[in-house]
Structure 1
Amino acid sequence: MDGRHSRISVLMFPWLAHGHISPFLELAKKLTKRNFHIYFCSTPVNLRPIKEKLPEKYSLSIQLVELHLPSLPELPPHYHTTNGLPPHLMPTLKKAFDMASPNFSTIVKNLRPDLLIYDFLQQWAPSIALSRNIPAVEFLPTNAAMTSFVIHLTKNPGVEFPFPEIYLRDNYAISKFQNVLESSANGIKDTERAVECCEQSSEIVLIKTFREIEAKYLDYLSELTGKKIVPVGPLVQDPVHEYDEKPGIMEWLNNKERSSTVFVSFGSEYFLSKEEMEEIAYGLEQSMVPFIWVVRFPGGAKVSLEMALPKGFLDRVGDGGMVVEGWAPQTKILEHSSIGGFSSHCGWSSVLESMKLGVPIIAMPMHLDQPINARLVEEVGMGLEVERDMNGKLKREEVAKVIREVVVEKAGESVRQKAKELKEKLISKGEEEIDEVVQEVVQLCRKKNRH
Structure 2
Amino acid sequence: MIPFLELSNRLARRNHAVTFVSTPRNAPRLGAVPPELSARVRVVTLDLPAVQGLPDGAESTADVPREKVDLLKTAFDGLAAPFKSFVASRGSNDGEAGDEFSRKPDWIILDFAHDWVMPIADEHKISCAMFLIFPVALLAYIGPKHENEARPRTTTEDYMVQPPWVPFPSNLCYRRYEAEAIARGFRPNASGVSDIDRLLRLHHPSCRLIVHRSCPEAEPRLFPLLADLFAKPVVPAGLLLPGDVVDAAAPRAQDGDGESLAPLMQWLDEQPRRSVVYVALGSEAPVTADHVRELAHGLELSGARFLWALRPPSESDDSGAPLLPGGFEQRVAGRGVVRAGWVPQVRVLAHGAVAAFLTHCGWGSTVEGLFRFGRPLVMLPFVADQGLIAREVAARGAGIEVPRNDDDGSFRAADVAVAVRRVMMANEEGEALSRNATELQKVVGDRVRQDQYVDELVGYLQRYK
Q: TM-score over 0.5 for the alignment?
A: yes
Alpha-carbon contact 1:154-1:191 (below 8 Å) kept: no
Q: Which residue in the other structure is 2:4 paired with?
A: 24
How far does residue 389 in structure 1 lie from its aligned partner after superposition?
Answer: 2.5
Q: Which residue in the other structure is 1:82 paired with?
A: 61
- Runs of 5+ consecutive residues of structure 1 not aligned to the other structure: 1-20, 446-451
Alpha-carbon contact 2:135-2:385 (below 8 Å) kept: no
Give the match's secondary structure for 1:358.
coil
Q: Which residue in the other structure is 2:70 paired with?
A: 91
Alpha-carbon contact 1:265-1:345 (below 8 Å) kept: yes
Q: Structure 1 stretch 319-328 or stretch 73-82: which is displaced more?
A: 73-82
- Runs of 5+ consecutive residues of structure 2 not aligned to the other structure: 91-103, 154-162, 255-260
Alpha-carbon contact 2:51-2:74 (below 8 Å) kept: no
CA–CA distance in 1 between the matches of 2:56 and 2:107?
Answer: 28
**AA in 1 matched with 2:310:** V
CA–CA distance in 1 between the matches of 2:80 and 2:331?
Answer: 54
CA displacement, residues 328-380 of structure 1 (integer Å, 9 cap, x when unaligned): 00000001111111111111111111211111111101122211221222233
> In structure 1, which of residues 249, 256, 281 is the aligned counterpart of residue 271 of structure 2?
256
CA–CA distance in 2 between the matches of 1:44 and 1:243?
Answer: 21
Q: Which residue in the other structure is 1:132 paired with?
A: 124
Q: Give the % identical residues.
A: 30
Q: Which residue in the other structure is 1:173 paired with?
A: 178
Q: Which residue in the other structure is 1:157 paired with?
A: 152
How far does residue 59 in structure 1 lie from its aligned partner after superposition?
Answer: 2.3
Alpha-carbon contact 1:139-1:207 (below 8 Å) kept: yes
**AA in 1 matched with 2:413:** R
**AA in 1 matched with 2:209:** I
Alpha-carbon contact 2:112-2:132 (below 8 Å) kept: yes
CA–CA distance in 1 between the matches of 2:400 and 2:298?
Answer: 15
Aligned residues: 422
How far does residue 167 in structure 1 lie from its aligned partner after superposition?
Answer: 4.1
1:437 aligns with 2:457: yes
> In structure 1, which of residues 44, 49, 57 is the aligned counterpart of residue 29 of structure 2?
49
Q: Structure 1 stretch 122-131 or stretch 180-189: which is displaced more?
A: 180-189
Q: Which residue in the other structure is 2:110 paired with?
A: 118
Q: Which residue in the other structure is 1:346 paired with?
A: 361
Q: Which residue in the other structure is 2:403 paired with?
A: 387
CA–CA distance in 1 between the matches of 2:314 and 2:191?
Answer: 26
> In structure 2, which of residues 36, 43, 65 is the aligned counterpart of residue 64 of structure 1?
43
Q: Cα gap change, 1:292/1:275 in structure 2, threshold over 3 Å: closer, same or farther? A: same
Q: Which residue in the other structure is 2:288 paired with?
A: 273
Q: Which residue in the other structure is 1:422 paired with?
A: 440
Give the match's secondary structure for 1:179.
helix
How far does residue 199 in structure 1 lie from its aligned partner after superposition?
Answer: 3.4
How far does residue 392 in structure 1 lie from its aligned partner after superposition?
Answer: 2.1
CA–CA distance in 2 between the matches of 1:282 and 1:300?
Answer: 20
1:412 aligns with 2:433: no
Q: Cα gap change, 1:344/1:161 in structure 2, threshold over 3 Å: closer, same or farther? A: farther
> In structure 2, which of residues 227, 233, 236 is the aligned counterpart of residue 228 of structure 1?
233
Give the match's secondary structure for 1:214.
coil
Q: Cα gap change, 1:145/1:403 in structure 2, threshold over 3 Å: closer, same or farther? A: same
CA–CA distance in 1 between the matches of 2:203 and 2:307?
Answer: 40
CA–CA distance in 2 between the matches of 1:167 and 1:215?
Answer: 13
CA–CA distance in 2 between the matches of 1:359 and 1:62?
Answer: 33
Q: Cα gap change, 1:279/1:164 in structure 2, threshold over 3 Å: closer, same or farther? A: farther
**AA in 1 matched with 2:58:** Y
**AA in 1 matched with 2:15:** N
Give the match's secondary structure for 2:326.
coil
Alpha-carbon contact 1:143-1:348 (below 8 Å) kept: yes
How far does residue 169 in structure 1 lie from its aligned partner after superposition?
Answer: 4.6
CA–CA distance in 1 between the matches of 2:376 and 2:206?
Answer: 35
Q: Cα gap change, 1:43/1:267 in structure 2, threshold over 3 Å: closer, same or farther? A: same
CA displacement, residues 97-142 of structure 1 (integer Å, 9 cap, x when unaligned): 2222111101111232121101111211122112211111111111
Structure ranking higher on relative contact order (CA contacts 8 Å, 6+ apart): 1
Alpha-carbon contact 2:346-2:368 (below 8 Å) kept: yes
How far does residue 211 in structure 1 lie from its aligned partner after superposition?
Answer: 0.7
Q: Which residue in the other structure is 2:253 paired with?
A: 244
Relative to the length of structure 1, the TM-score reads 0.88
How far does residue 434 in structure 1 lie from its aligned partner after superposition?
Answer: 0.6
Q: Which residue in the other structure is 2:216 paired with?
A: 211
Q: Cα gap change, 1:74/1:55 in structure 2, threshold over 3 Å: closer, same or farther? A: same
Alpha-carbon contact 2:292-2:323 (below 8 Å) kept: yes
Give the match's secondary structure for 1:323.
strand
How far does residue 58 in structure 1 lie from its aligned partner after superposition?
Answer: 2.9
Relative to the length of structure 2, the TM-score reads 0.85
Within-5 A mapping of 1:29-40: 29-40=9-20
Q: Which residue in the other structure is 1:12 paired with?
A: none
Q: Which residue in the other structure is 1:373 paired with?
A: 389
Q: Which residue in the other structure is 2:138 paired with?
A: 146
How far does residue 410 in structure 1 lie from its aligned partner after superposition?
Answer: 2.2
Q: Which residue in the other structure is 2:159 paired with?
A: none
Q: Structure 1 stretch 375-384 or stretch 325-334: which is displaced more?
A: 375-384
Q: Structure 1 stretch 80-89 or stretch 313-322: which is displaced more?
A: 80-89
Give the match's secondary structure for 1:283.
helix
How far does residue 266 in structure 1 lie from its aligned partner after superposition?
Answer: 0.8
Q: Which residue in the other structure is 1:5 paired with?
A: none
**AA in 1 matched with 2:458:** V
Within-5 A mapping of 1:246-325: 246-270=261-285, 272-297=287-312, 307-325=322-340
1:101 aligns with 2:117: no
CA displacement, residues 255-292 of structure 1 (integer Å, 9 cap, x when unaligned): 11222110000112335312111111111111111000
Alpha-carbon contact 1:233-1:434 (below 8 Å) kept: yes
CA–CA distance in 1 between the matches of 2:286 and 2:37?
Answer: 33
CA–CA distance in 1 between the matches of 2:42 and 2:136?
Answer: 30
Give the match's secondary structure for 2:334.
helix
